[in-house]
Amino acid sequence: MDILIVIIEIIVALVWIQQGIVRYQFWNDGKPGGGFVPVIFASLVLIAAVAILMREVFSKKNKETYTFQPGAFVPAAAAVLGGFMIQVLGILLSVFLFNTIWMRFLSRYSWVKTLISSVLFTAFIYGIFRMWLRVPFPSGFIFQLF
Give me the amino acid identity at 98. F
Same domain, 29 and 78: no
CB 96, CB 123: distance < 8 Å: no
Same domain, 78 and 124: yes
Cα separation of 10 and 86, whole Å? 19
Give me the amino acid identity at 16. W
Same domain, 23 and 75: no
pLDDT tens, N- to C-terminus, the chain (146 residues): 678 889 999 999 999 999 999 998 898 888 898 899 889 999 999 999 999 999 888 876 655 566 777 777 788 788 889 888 988 999 999 999 999 999 998 899 999 999 999 999 999 999 998 999 888 888 888 888 77
pTM higher than 0.75 for the full model? no
Same domain, 24 and 76: no
Cα separation of 98 and 85, whole Å? 9
Same domain, 82 and 135: yes
Q: Answer with the one of 10, 32, 58 that is the final residue of a domain.
A: 58
Cα separation of 55 and 105, whole Å? 29
The domain total for the chain is 2
Domain that holds residue 91: 70-145
Same domain, 38 and 86: no
Is 63 inside any structural domain?
A: no
Is 37 inside any structural domain?
A: yes
CB 104, CB 111: distance < 8 Å: yes
Note the maximum CA span of the chain. 56
Is 65 inside any structural domain?
A: no
Same domain, 101 and 53: no
